[in-house]
Copies of this chain bind each other. A is one copy, B any other.
Amino acid sequence: MVAKRDFVSVDDLSGSEILALFRAADRFEADLRAHSGQCPGTILATLFFEPSTRTRLSFESAMLRLGGGVISASEAGSTSATKGESLADTVRVVGGRYSDIIVLRHPFEGAARVAARYASVPVVNAGDGAHEHPTQTLCDLYTLWRQKGKLDGLEVLLAGDLKYSRTIHSLAYALARFGSNLVFQPFPGLEIPESVLVRLERDFSVDVRRARAFEIKGLGAGKDAVYVTPNKPHQNTLFTQIDDEEIDRIDAIYMTRLQRERLEGNEDPTRTDRYPSLDPAQFQGKRFKDMGLMHPLPRVDEISYEFDDDPRALYFRQAALGVPIRMALLAFLLGRLELDAEPEAPHPAGRSREPRERAVYRSAVGLRCKNPRCVTHAPHERYVVPEFLEIREAPPLLRCVFCDWEVEPALIGHAQSRRLHRSNAAEAQRIGAARRVYFEDEAQATAAGFGNA
């Protein structure tokens, strides 16, 4: 029996699988009503522990168009049946005979990974807190690929709130993986987080440069832009003027909503009144002739209604393409669609994906993920043992396998001797990987019975 496949993160699919899904989605899109014989008797369960009508409807539509059925707990978090029940139990029941595939939305980061471990059927992540929403990313990539015929070498400008938008971070990693060039052009104060740039450089072998970009009216002066290119020779300059030198066209602008609720208390609310509202007049040069304007929707005011009739407006098309790409994904995970692709193939553009061979550290005592919204801290999921990928050995850098937050433990203990060392001490390095026990601080170590040498 072939092992089941889940889709918790974009990384769960190889590059060639993603491209094969796009080709399959094209076949579905050609006539959406012609595929109702694909999955008869098959059932999708949507378990939404927080509401997201649009995402839910898109998945349900995809399944119904494949001829399957849908059962839905659209407010799973508030019903008595699931109140207080662990996610592991819920998905073991719902994925028992009730359904053949589960689509999960959950407020805790990493929840979908936990669900995938316990469910006997494939699990699709429809958003786990601020962590990932990989089918949104898949849909964004598909829209671009369909519009431009490729992803490699595209010039994509990401604009607006680059700090709090989950969509943007996932999309940036995915575009880098497929060889697109990126221009980050933030609304002042909502710059792309340093941690995202670090990870782009480290995991996707790209060049990251501070730059001064185009002045797009309303989008700010562009002086805090960042330019990301794959494999170009380093130029060793802190600042580059990218507008005329390198980019003679923009293939797509991805605009984001201001997450106003994230700003409260932190920022000056009056300032956000200047958040841009894009209209066609701002994009009139030759450079913008073929650009597509994308947005994950719903929009508030950041794209004016005048753009709706402009042929460059892609956002409604982007929402529409969510159905055929989800049809392809569901049919694939259900074993009803064979992909002309290699599961673990190298990236088609020659760049390597994040190595899968990283060691996993199970932290029965001691180290805990520092993300308070990580599923390992959820009140009903205490059975989950924290696990970390070892990203770097010395000094140690660990990444939570559930929510991807990184932590640098200050102390390392020896599992047998219970002796404790600073992480950067030579003694610490001499402890074999299987005997290391990580701690954040002495209090944590003491509580676990470890002490100084």
Complexed CA–CA distance, A305 and B85 (Å): 12
Say whether A52 contacts B80, CB under 8 Å. Answer: yes
A345 beta carbon closer than 8 Å to chain B: no
Contact of A96 among B36, B92, B319 (CB under 8 A): B319
A307 to chain B, nearest CB (A): 12
Say whether A98 contacts B58, CB under 8 Å. Answer: yes
Q: Which B residues lie within 8 Å of A92 (CB)? A: 316
A74 to chain B, nearest CB (A): 9
Q: Which B residues lie within 8 Å of A97 (CB)? A: 29, 32, 61, 320-324
Q: Which B residues lie within 8 Å of A93 (CB)? A: 54, 297, 316, 319-320
Complexed CA–CA distance, A71 and B69 (Å): 11
A46 to chain B, nearest CB (A): 10
Which interface class (under 10, 10 to 19, 20 to 34, 35 or more) fits A?
A: 35 or more
Contact of A51 among B79, B98, B99 (CB under 8 A): B79
Q: Which B residues lie within 8 Å of A54 (CB)? A: 81-82, 93
Contact of A43 among B61, B85, B317, B319 (CB under 8 A): B61
Copies of this protein in the complex: 3
Say whether B65 contacts A69, CB under 8 Å. Answer: yes
Between A35, A41, A73, A321, the greatest number of chain B beta carbons within 10 A of the residue's beta carbon is seen for: A41
Q: Which B residues lie within 8 Å of A60 (CB)? A: 71
A50 to chain B, nearest CB (A): 8
A199 beta carbon closer than 8 Å to chain B: no
Contact with B along A29-68 (1 / 0, CB 8 A): 1001111100011110100000111110110110011010
Say whether B57 contacts A320, CB under 8 Å. Answer: no
Contact with B along A73-105 (1 / 0, CB 8 A): 100100111101100111011101111100000
Contact with B along A288-310 (1 / 0, CB 8 A): 00000000011110000100000
Complexed CA–CA distance, A45 and B34 (Å): 18
Known: A96-B316, A298-B84. A40 touches B33 (CB 8 A): yes
Known: A42-B33, A316-B92. A99 touches B61 (CB 8 A): yes
Complexed CA–CA distance, A316 and B69 (Å): 22
Say whether B33 contacts A94, CB under 8 Å. Answer: no
10 nearest A-B residue pairs (beta carbon): A64-B69, A96-B320, A33-B41, A36-B41, A97-B323, A85-B298, A97-B320, A53-B81, A54-B81, A36-B40
Would you give 26 A-B contacts (Cβ < 8 Å), ordered by A? A33-B40, A33-B42, A34-B41, A40-B67, A43-B61, A43-B64, A51-B81, A53-B73, A53-B79, A54-B81, A57-B71, A57-B98, A58-B98, A60-B71, A61-B99, A64-B69, A64-B71, A84-B300, A89-B299, A96-B316, A96-B317, A96-B323, A97-B320, A97-B322, A97-B324, A98-B323
